[in-house]
Every structure is written in structure tokens, then in C-alpha cells.
Amino acid sequence: MRCVWTDLCVTVNGESLLLDKSGAAYWPKTRTLIFADLHFEKGSSYARGRQFLPPYDTRATLLRMAEVVTRRAPARVIALGDSFHDPHAAERLGAEERALLESMAAGAHFIWITGNHDPHPPAWLGGAVMPEWREGGLIFRHEPRADAERGEVAGHLHPAASVAKYGRGVRRRCFVADAIRLLLPSFGAYTGGLDVGDPAIASLFGSRFHAFMLGQDRVYAIPRQVGRRKSSEDIQPMITAIATAARP
Amino acid sequence: MLPPRFQDWFAAKGWSPRPHQLALVETAQRGNSVLLVAPTGGGKTLAGFLPSLIDLAERPKRSRASRLHTLYISPLKALAVDVARNLETPVAEMELAITVETRTGDTPVARRQRQRHAPPDFLLTTPEQLALLIAHPRAPQMFEHLKTVVLDELHALYNSKRGDLLALGLARLSQLAPGHRRVGLSATVADPKPLQRFLLPQSGGKEVLAELVVAKGGAKPQIAISASDSYVPWAGHLARHAMLDVMTAIGEARTALIFVNTRSQAERTFQELWKLNEANWPIALHHGSLAPEQRRKVEAAMTKGALRAVVCTSTLDLGIDWGAVDKVICIGAPKGAARLVQRIGRANHRLDEPSAALLVPANRFEVLECNAARDAVLAGELDGERLKQGSLDVLCQHIWGMAVAAPFHADALYAEISSAMPFADLSRADFDAALNFVATGGYALKSYDRYARLRQVPDGPQKSMWRLAHPRLGQAYRLNVGVIVEDPMVDIRLQSRGKPTGVGGRRLGQLEEYFVEQLSAGDTFVFAGDVLRFEGLRENAAYVTRTHDPEAQVPSYNGGKFPLSTFLAQRVREMVSAPERWHVLPEPVQEWLKIQEWRSVIPKPGQLLVEHFPRANRHYLVCYPFEGRLAHQTLGMLLTRRLERARMKPLGFIANEYALAVWAARDMSGLDMGRLFDADMLGDDLDAWLADSNLYKRTFRNCAIIAGLIERRMPGKEKSGRQVTFSSDLIYDVLRAHEPDHILLRATYADAGSGLLDIARLSDMLARVRSRIVTRKLDRVSPLAVPALLEISREMVARGEVEEDILRENEDALIADAMRVD
């Protein structure tokens, strides 16, 4: 396995995943690229309520996706659910957006995991539609489960974290991981974030875990501690991973 | 000129009408609009109402139908309420049959409805309420008999977004009640012309001016400057060294108002005063973050005359008269001559007696600024203001409101809007862009057109009208009206120690969310007069406990940071450049300037001094534009980009109100300073920097809310308010990449030019110093550079990608942690 420093590498249930600065994860062993919560046409979904958000979010999301796909050249792409913001979102896609999506689908096999926003992704997209996908030590699903087995890779919660220094705070989308599971940040251009300290996220992890915040050129590993209990057991595999990554 | 009843009333009071009051009666008889410029205490409000009182007193008894005669608009609802109360006296004593009512956000719904059908003779209200009134289908009936509009404290409104909203409201009133008169009331301003134009419909590029009446000035104020010949601090803004002087001044006064510039300064000053308050004088605290109940309590105590002093921020710059106030103490930099006049005017509301003020500079530069400000005030010179153009986001809001009132023709509405002074130069293309933005977002998308807010409906063979698509949109407009956008706030709740965080807690007030988000559990700060320990954030509240930690870490939270005015900056520069005027300054300040003259140089008027010197393995470049912290910060960002390209390895910079210091790994003295400070830096570099600037994103958020792109936070929906902040950044990023010319991005750029980033001012400065840069290469730090360098440890502003630095440093801590063997 080869890691470059711009990619942090985490090991979840024995499988190594690269955390891409874009917010996607890459699984080199199977050449699989993973995106969560694309929320296509979220902007235009607000028009029904007569709120006219600039309708460029899908294009922005797809262009960012295309950039990672070109860079990683995956054999397979997994979208972890909530790829479409609402049941009619696919009908509203513009011609340019459709073409972008189709050209990506032509080069890689797509697996569309279903989400609460898109229980039935459109059939014309091709690829496979399924509620879960298991392979090797990993299981891919939309919504993380409290009682999940080791190796869960999920989205749904849109994690974000903040840190402060020099009297200023920085808030970014982030991956969250411990040795058991990996949560991906939402990838859609109009998707907001939920703080990792929120019980919905924190309760999934032990007292210590890591937020991997998205920076301009790389991902930053930030330790998080919930409560005062100190335990080094949860964190141990993560440190190894960072040390490996840090070595040139 | 006055009717007998009025003459008798003045006589019975032992007053004689002032010349400017009579002048206003006279212009009214000629049917003209007028601007009255008068100092505080000049009977300005009575002058404004006198013609209306006379007109109604002469009204025949039988015409008792309820008709709105005079509309009064004030920037503060408290002021409207106070003026209504003051009008009761002449109305009652002259037995005039005149009804006076106020209308604010606090007016009960039933009365507000009744006011539409049966309005009082005089209605006293605010610009926001006017916007609501004219956006009602019954507005034509309500205003058809309107005779007079009185605009109070017009100087505080005309050149702002609230002024834009007011101007648009007046343009509509001109349609509803053609021929009504307007009276503008203003404090002394450097140039009254824009205010005279503001009062009247403008047409065809010509200036249409209201008449001007200038009241004779009152007694000159007595302004003292606290100064010590033994000690004047080099830096800082707290003036802790002068607190005994402040206590003495309080002791000499009946009631004192103590003005400071920021909320955190207010908190610290309050604490320092109470440490010295052995006599237990009732001294209170008042600023915008405190809970409204607490502020009302302080105001009520002031009205009763129960307080000896109030420490306050600009929240009390304007407001109702407190007769008991006989001294104003200004701590820190005055920032502007007009602001100082306004604040001094808060003491002693009688025209013939001098107001007494004490200025307390907190550092050496502020000593210069206080002296310059005092000289300007005594010479009767004031800061001029750069006139802003009408804001496009306010225009969008107004167009929506006009559709709520009634269907309209685009041509007619455009003509009406361009009669408002701020929008006199509005192009038809911009108007159409705003109209389309309101109607469908302006993206020409079928899925958006289907849900249009405004639709075009045929009206005759060739014409069409714009009509509101659904009545519910009227409700949405009413919830969004106004141009004041609050930062997202977090409640501060005080818990008893030992209780689990997030349970119970008394509400102390609110703080900006971005300030609270940077706190970690255990951090201490001063708020509401106490040292508090931050425990945690739950839902939308920050939970704190009381602590007696004397070493309270007080990070600054914003609120009331005004830049040094261009005018005052000019006078400070002149004072520095004129050694013959230094003798009035305290000894340590004179010595400081003399050593500067000896070690480096005192720049001549119009010159920009740039110094280079090494210190602790770094190379410093310090310049002294005196253009305010915001302009300097922008300059710092742009200079470091340039220095980066020149391979000087810039490491950081610090800006204060007077100077900018940049430090780098390499010696910058060999660079061509003319090139380095060339105005072409305001091109691409500025754009690239703006893209990521948080201030710029916050400016965009305000525009997006005002224009109705995203919804304003509603009381009780605080959680969604926090989400709005985040998503406006998302919209900004997408819009910038995909439609950089969008109307809201243009509105944001216009705001940034004059507002938070002061780009216009920076651009003026760069033009001013062209080929007038004086460079000095020194072997060590110069006296003038010390105050800026002292601030480095206080307020670290790292270069360029500060956010990445923050992430990196937080991570470094992790790696140290991870690699530690224990």
C-alpha cells in the first residue's frame, strides 16, 4: 500500500482507506471511490417554496466529483445515498449536468446506495442500486447504525468540526473515524454540516476519536475528546495510520 | 408670525420662540420643504412640529374626520416614543384637538390595524414601519391627506442602507400624497447638500434642493483631555492608568455618561471603576449585548436620575434626553469629530450652557487623536462623509414590497425609484435585474418560473403589469422587512457551579456566535460585569459559571468598532508633521515624537513614511498611513501577497488604527517602495483575497438576507438561524464560481468598498501617497513603530492562509500528543 502525504490513511477493520482532500474516500485495494450525500438539485428544490437559490449547486458538485474521478481513475464509484435531494431532482437536471454524470458513469461502475432522500434513484443512470454493499472487511450504507459491526462506511450525518487559534475559529467539513467505522462528509455543494460534538455523531464513537478536516491542499487530523474519561484503546490504530502516512 | 394662542403659550412658559423655529413656520407658509441644522438642545423637534401644530390649530372644528396630517420618522423607536410624550405638553396646554400616536414593533396589533383605517393626526414611527405601511393595499387611503413628513436625526440615516429604505418609502409617499412638505432635522454636518437633496424628489440629473435653515450654535463645549506628564501608555485601549481621573470626574458631576468604543472595553472599564468605587456610587453598564430587560432597567434608572454614571458604547450615542447628564467622559479614541460632537451633546440639553466633556486617551497615538478631535470640534469643523449609492439589495426588498402593495408597471416604478436621491443614478438594466431577481431569481429556468413570486399579467393591448403571485408572499415580505441584519447570536446563560452543563441558567444576554465558537470549556471572559467561565455550548446557548479568577482571559468580541474618520486622520497627520504644535502635548508624548525625529524622521504633510529595521532575526517594514485598522488590514493582506512574489518570505503583519507592520525572513529595504505601494494591487490580488475573506462572506450574507434570498432568523427559530450562516457561505462559493456578476455579488462588492473592508479609502490613500513615500532604513525599531509592534502579541494576524495555519497548528498538537511516550 502506498500513501502520499496529502492523503491521510485510516485503517478501518483492517482495510486501508485514503481520505481525499475533496471529501471523497478512496479504497486502493478495490480501486473504489466513495462519495456521500451529493444532494443533487438541492438548490432548485427550494423553488417550490419560492426561494430562488442560485441553481448551480449540481454543476459545482459534479465538477468537483469529476476532478477526483479524473485524478483517481477508479474502477468503481459508490455513492452512499442521498445522491438526489428529492424524488423529482433527476428530472430537473440540466443538459450539461446530465452529460457530466453520464460521462463519469461511462468510465466506472456506479453503485447507488439508497438514502432517505432518494429511496429510488433514477433507473436511467445505470449502475446498481442497493441499500447496502459488503466487500472485504467493509460494509457501505447510508445511515450509520449504533449497533454496527466493524467496518461500517456511512454518510447521512454531514459531519463538520471547528478548531480555534489566534482568536479565530475555523469550521470545515470532516471525516470522522475510529477503528470501527468511517463517516464521510457530505459532498454536495449546498449541504450544511453537523458538529461532531453533536450527540448524533459523538454517540457513535468512543470517548476519543478523530475528525479529519478538509483543508485547501490536504486533510488535517484533529483529535476530539468527549467527556473527561481518558482511554487510549480506541485511538491506538489511528496513530499507527498517521505515523505511516507522515513518513515520506 | 405665530398665532396668538402660540404666542401666549410661549410667553406663559417664559420662552421666546427661537429664530430657527420661526424660520420653519415661515417656510411652511410658503409650502416649501426644509432642512433644519441645529445643535442638540436647540428646540429642534418642536421647530419641526410647530407648523403642523399651527395648521391643525386653525383647522375648523367640524372637519374632524380622522386624517393623517404629519408623519414623523426617527431612527430609534425609543426616540419616537419620547417625542410623542413631549408633544403632549403643548397640545394639552394650548388645548389643541390633535391626536398623537406612535407605531413601532411594540404597538399592539389591534391598534396598528385601527391606525390604518382611522389614523391619528400625528403618527410617529421608524423607517421600517414606513416600509410596512406603504406595502399595504390600503396605503393610498391612509396617506392621501398627508401634509407633512418630519425626518428626525436625518444625519444618522441618510447615508446608510436604512436611509436607502427611507428614501424609497418617501418616493412612494410622493406618489400617494403629491405636494406634501418635508422637514429634515439634523445635527451639524460638514455638508448639508446631500441631506437637502434627500428630502425632495430628484429628476433628470439636476440637483433639487430643499431650503436650508441653520440654527445658531450654542455655547462652545468645554473639552478637557486627561493627561499625565509622568506616564502615557505605549499601546492598549483600556486607559487603566487614568481610572482615578475618571472617578474624580464622576465625583464632580451629577450624572456622567462614559463612552467607550467596544463592548469588551465597556466591560473592562466597568470592572476597573468598581474596583475604585469606595463610595459605592451607583455606576451602571449599558451595551448592545446585554439582555434588553437589563438595558431597559438602566435606562429607567437614568430617567429617574438614580445613577451617578453609565459606562456605555454607541448604543447611547443617539437617544432620548436625560436632563440630569452634565458630563460626558470619552475613553479611548474619539474616531471622528462628528461622533465626538454627538457624544458631547448628550450632556446638558440646554443650548446656552456649555456641555462639559473629558477625553481620556489610552495610548500615545490616542493623545494625538484626542487633541486633533478637540481642535476640530472647537473650530466647528466636521468629518465629511463619502456618499454611498443606493444599495441593490435594499432595492430588491423594496420592489417586493411594492408588489405587495399593488400591481405595478415596471416603467412607472423605475421612474418613481430613480426620483429617490440614493437611486438617482440607478440604471434601467440594474432595475430590471433587481426586478427579475425578485420575480424568479433571474435565472431563466422553467422550474423556477413555475413558482414565480411576481408574474406579468396583460394590462391593455401593449402593456403588462407585475403582480404578486400569491398573497402568502405578502406575509413573507412583512417578516423580512428592514435592513438591519444581526449577526447570529448565542444566549449566555449563567449556571450555578456544580450543575450539569445545559440545565437551567439565567439569561445574561447574547454574544456573537463566532466569538462563542472559539471558546473552549474553561476559558474565562468578562461579560455583564462579571468574570465568567465558559462551560459548554448546548442547543443555542452558551453555559457559563461565575469565577473569581482575577486573570480573566478577555478575547475581544466585536460591537461598535468604528474606523478613524478620514477627516480626523488628516488632522492627526498634520499634528504629527508640525513640531511647533507639540508643546500642548504631555511631556512623554513630546519626548516620543522628538526621539522619532532624531532616530528616524517625522514625515511631512502628504508623505507616507516607511521604515525598515531588523529585530530578533526578522526584518520589519512599518508604514504609517493613519487610515484605520480595516483599511490597514486590507493593505497588509495585499502587501504580503506582493512580498511573497518578490521572495521576501513575509511571515506576518499587524495593523492598528495608525500603522501597519509587516515582518519577513528577508530584508525588504532594497525593494522599490513606489512599486510595492502601487495602486494596481487593488486588482486581481484584491479579488483573490476577497474570495476567501470572512468579512466579505458576512457582507454577502447581509445582502442575501436583505434582498430576500435567504430568510431572516425568526424569534423562536434560532436553530435554523445558525444554519443560515453556513448555507449563505455555500451559496457565496457557488455563485462566485458560476455567476460572478450576480446582482447580490455586486451589492456585496459595493458594501465592502465602503464598509467592512474600507477598500475605497485604501484606494484614495494609495493615490495620495504616490511618489510621496519617504523611506528610512534603521538599525533598530523606531519610537513610532513601538505601539504597533506591542500589539503583535495581543492580536496575532497571520499572513495569507490563516485558516490553514489554524488547522495545521491544531494538528501539530495532535502529532506531539500521538508521538509522546508515557
Domains and CATH numbers, chain B: 4-214 (3.40.50.300), 222-378 (3.40.50.300), 489-546 (no CATH), 566-806 (no CATH)
Our CA angle for B631, B637, B641, nearest 5°, is: 145
Q: What is the pLDDT of residue B345?
A: 84
- The residue of chain B nearest to residue A213, with distances taken between CA atoms, is B807
pLDDT at B454 over 70: yes
The number of beta carbons lying within 10 Å of the beta carbon of residue A221 is 27
Interval B317-361: pLDDT, tens = 877 777 788 999 999 988 899 889 888 888 876 667 788 999 999
Q: What distances in angstroms separate CA B34 from CA B259, B417, B624, B665, one per listed residue?
A: 33, 21, 43, 61
- B274-283, B381-390, B656-665: range with highest mean pLDDT: B274-283
Q: Which residues of A fall within a CB distance of 8 Å from B452? A: 50
Q: Tell me the nearest-neighbour CA distance from B317 into chain A, angstroms.
A: 29
Q: Which residues of A fall within a CB distance of 8 Å from B518? A: 162, 164, 167-169
Interval B115-128: pLDDT, tens = 999 999 999 999 99
Mean of the pLDDT values across residues A184-204?
A: 90
Mean of the pLDDT values across residues B68-92?
A: 92
pLDDT at B280 over 50: yes
Of residues B697 and B99, the one with the higher pLDDT is B99
**CB pairs < 8 Å spanning A and B:** 134
- The residue of chain B nearest to residue A51, with distances taken between CA atoms, is B709
Q: What distances in angstroms separate CA B531 from CA B116, B263, B313, B540, B545, one per listed residue?
A: 49, 14, 19, 21, 9
Of residues B804 and B100, the one with the higher pLDDT is B100
Taking each helix axis from N to C end, the angle separating B694-706 and B684-692, rounded to the nearest 10 degrees, works out to: 70
Best CA proximity match to A5, nearest among A183, A164, A220: A220
Best CA proximity match to B735, nearest among A53, A38, A98, A191: A53
Task: Report the residue from A50, A51, A221 with minimal CB separation from B814.
Answer: A221
pLDDT at B820 over 60: no
Q: What is the pLDDT of residue B370?
A: 95
pLDDT at B114 over 80: yes
Taking each helix axis from N to C end, the angle separating B392-405 and B410-417, rounded to the nearest 10 degrees, works out to: 130
pLDDT at B718 over 80: no
Average pLDDT, chain B: 86
Candidate from B310-319, B445-454, B508-517, B738-747 with smallest mean pLDDT: B508-517
Interval B669-711: pLDDT, tens = 999 999 999 988 888 778 777 776 777 888 899 999 999 998 7
Q: What is the pLDDT of residue B814?
A: 41
The backbone torsions φ and ψ at residue B781, rounded to the nearest 5 degrees and listed phi first, read -60, 140
pLDDT at B722 over 90: no
Q: What is the ipTM of this complex?
A: 0.87
pLDDT at B805 over 80: no
Report d(CA A111, CA B217) in Å as an integer: 80
Mean of the pLDDT values across residues A73-92?
A: 95
pLDDT at A72 over 70: yes
Tell me the pLDDT band of A239, cut-offs 50, 70 and 90. very low
User: In this structure, is residue A126 part of a structural domain?
Assistant: yes
pLDDT at B747 over 80: yes
Q: What is the pLDDT of residue B563?
A: 77
Candidate from A170-174, B125-129, B605-609, B680-684 with smallest mean pLDDT: B680-684
Q: How are the residues of chain B apportioned to helix, strand and coil, as percentages rounded to the nearest 5?
A: 45, 15, 40
User: In this structure, is residue A2 part of a structural domain?
Assistant: no
Residues 6+ apart with CB under 8 A from B791: B235, B654, B656
Q: What distances in angstroms separate CA B709 from CA B61, B374, B416, B435, B763, one per listed residue?
A: 51, 45, 24, 13, 31
Give the dihedral sign, CA B623/B628/B631/B637.
positive
Interval B458-486: pLDDT, tens = 988 878 999 999 998 999 899 889 998 87
| pTM for this entry | 0.86
Strand partners for A221: A212
Residues 6+ apart with CB under 8 A from A237: A11, A179
User: In this structure, is residue A234 part of a structural domain?
Assistant: yes
Of residues B304 and A40, the one with the higher pLDDT is A40
Q: What is the pLDDT of residue A202?
A: 86
* Residue matched to cell numbers 457559563: B544
Identity at B533, one-letter amino acid code: R
Query: Do the bridges between strand B650-655 and strand B660-664 make them parallel or antiparallel, or are there none, so unpaired?
Result: antiparallel
Report d(CA B696, CA B692) in Å as an integer: 8
Q: What distances in angstroms separate CA B321 from CA B45, B297, B334, one per listed residue?
A: 12, 16, 21
Q: Which residues of B fall within a CB distance of 8 Å from A44? A: 445, 447-448
Report d(CA A150, CA A176) in Å as an integer: 15
Interval B182-231: pLDDT, tens = 999 998 888 999 999 999 999 877 899 999 999 987 788 899 999 877 78
* Residue B708: CA count within 13 A, CB half-sphere: 32
pLDDT at B817 over 50: no
Identity at B602, one-letter amino acid code: I
Identity at B483, one-letter amino acid code: V
Tell me the pLDDT band of B282, cut-offs 50, 70 and 90. very high
3-state secondary structure B257-315: EEECCCHHHHHHHHHHHHHHCCCCCCEEEECCCECHHHHHHHHHHHHCCCCCEEEECHH
Best CA proximity match to A24, nearest among A64, A82, A58, A75: A64
Domain that includes residue A133, residue range: 8-246
Interval B537-554: pLDDT, tens = 776 788 888 887 665 554
Report d(CA B720, CA A4) in Å as an integer: 40
The number of beta carbons lying within 10 Å of the beta carbon of residue A235 is 20
Report d(CA B607, CA A210) in Å as an integer: 54
Contact state of B807 with A59 under an 8 Å Cβ cutoff: no
Contact state of B811 with A221 under an 8 Å Cβ cutoff: yes
Mean of the pLDDT values across residues A129-141?
A: 96
Q: What distances in angstroms separate CA B48 from CA B14, B23, B26, B320, one per listed residue?
A: 20, 10, 12, 17
Picking from A88, A163, A228, A235 by the largest number of B CB atoms within 10 A of its own CB, the best residue to mutate is A163
Report d(CA B43, CA B218) in Å as an integer: 11
Identity at B704, one-letter amino acid code: A
Identify whether the C-beta of residue A164 lies closer than 8 Å to the C-beta of residue B520.
yes
Q: What is the pLDDT of residue B369?
A: 94
Contact state of B739 with A164 under an 8 Å Cβ cutoff: no
Q: What is the pLDDT of residue B509?
A: 81
Residue percentage of chain B with pLDDT more than 90:
52
* Residue matched to cell numbers 454627538: B342
* Residue B161: CA count within 13 A, CB half-sphere: 24
Contact state of B807 with A220 under an 8 Å Cβ cutoff: yes
Tell me the pLDDT band of B12, cut-offs 50, 70 and 90. very high
Cell of B347: 450632556
pLDDT at B234 over 50: yes
> Which residues on chain A place their C-beta less than 8 Å from a C-beta of chain B?
43-44, 47-57, 59-60, 92, 162-172, 189-193, 213, 215-217, 220-223, 239, 242-243, 246
Tell me the pLDDT band of A193, cut-offs 50, 70 and 90. confident
Q: Tell me the nearest-neighbour CA distance from B428 into chain A, angstroms.
A: 22
Q: What is the pLDDT of residue B459?
A: 86
Report d(CA B252, CA B426) in Å as an integer: 54
Mean of the pLDDT values across residues B36-61?
A: 88
Q: What is the pLDDT of residue B514?
A: 66
Cell of B797: 494576524
Task: Report the residue from A50, A220, A239 with minimal CB separation from B811.
Answer: A220
Q: Which residues of A fall within a CB distance of 8 Å from B470? A: 50
Taking each helix axis from N to C end, the angle separating B743-754 and B759-769, rounded to the nearest 10 degrees, works out to: 50
pLDDT at A2 over 70: no
Q: Tell me the nearest-neighbour CA distance from B195 into chain A, angstroms.
A: 36
Strand partners for A132: A141
Tell me the pLDDT band of B414, cut-offs 50, 70 and 90. very high
Number of domains in chain A: 1
Q: Which residues of B fall within a CB distance of 8 Å from A171? A: 517, 726
Q: E strand or H helix at A162, and its extent?
A: strand A159-165
Q: How far is CA B654 from the centre of its chain?
A: 24
Report d(CA B709, CA B701) in Å as an integer: 9
